[in-house]
Structure 1
Amino acid sequence: MELTWDTLKENMELEPLVKPPVDRVQLVKYAGASGDFNPLHTVEEFARQAGLDGVIAHGMLSMGFLGQYLRHLLGVKGDILRMKVRFQRMVKPGDVLTCRGTVRALQPDDRVAELELAAINQSGEVVTAGTAEVRFF
């Protein structure tokens, strides 16, 4: 379903976006793109010495997935005004994240929708949760 202002309703669940499994190449590429070269994200032995089971994804990667999800929903029909997230669980290589959203409130005068967002792993655990405000043209 194409997301437009006229199709939105409060408490409406939005079409999810399933991301491919997180892999180590993606973590290295993200380190380069973000400038975050903390070895917890790329060096297995370092992560284990730090008490982890292995490397973990950058928290901002899952936030980026939620930003991609918003852009996917809006296409060229709107703008992302604000996005706020909380990192709740670690993401590891092999995790499959599903981005989900729900319309929480509509501001008809401004054509602004307030959304609740979540990136959920394959075990059903919320790894990143937040809110966003988007404006439709």
Structure 2
Amino acid sequence: MTVAPNDELPPLEVRVRRADLVRYAGASLDFNPIHWNDKVAESVGLPGVIAHGMLTMALAGRLVTNWTGDPSAVLEYSARFVRPVVVPNDDDGALVELTGKVKDVRDDGTARVDITAKFEGKAVLGKAIAVVRLPA
């Protein structure tokens, strides 16, 4: 694979539904009721049930691993949580839109990828960056 600065990764759209939150809670052991109970979420000032931040980050990571074809190629990955993904209790759920762009290609055979994750047109992750090992 030839990679150059400003190359764009294939975009990824993921619908997050309440059932996904239940599965993620079981896998992560994060049963905080803000991730499944509207009344509790609203009582702490949230607009409704929100997706786990780490689930959102994992979805953004999937954008990169889909592109590399090899999860072990991801050497570094970091992000800041800047806005929640509100997941309605319906069949549509919340649409998370993910894009990425190669920021730079390094002499050591790695590349930096800047990731954008949006919900309702607004960023939900900030400074989301992955460093990947490029194929030889």
- 1:57-136 matches, within 5 Å, as 57-76=51-70, 79-93=73-87, 94-108=93-107, 110-121=108-119, 123-129=120-126, 130-136=128-134
1: CA distance, partners of 2:55 / 2:70: 23
Q: 2:5 aligns with which of 2, 10, 30?
A: 10
Call closer, same or farther: CA 1:76–1:57 in 2, change over 3 Å: closer
* Residues matched between the structures, number: 129
**Percent of aligned pairs with the same amino acid:** 38
Counterpart residue type for residue 135 of structure 1? R
RMSD over aligned Cα atoms: 1.5
SS in 2 for 1:92: coil
Instruction: Quote how far apart the aligned CAs of 1:124 are.
Output: 1.6
Moved over 6 A (4+): none
Call closer, same or farther: CA 1:125–1:77 in 2, change over 3 Å: closer
Could you state the TM-score of these two structures normalised by the residue count of structure 1?
A: 0.87
Q: Which runs of 5+ in 1 are unaligned?
A: none
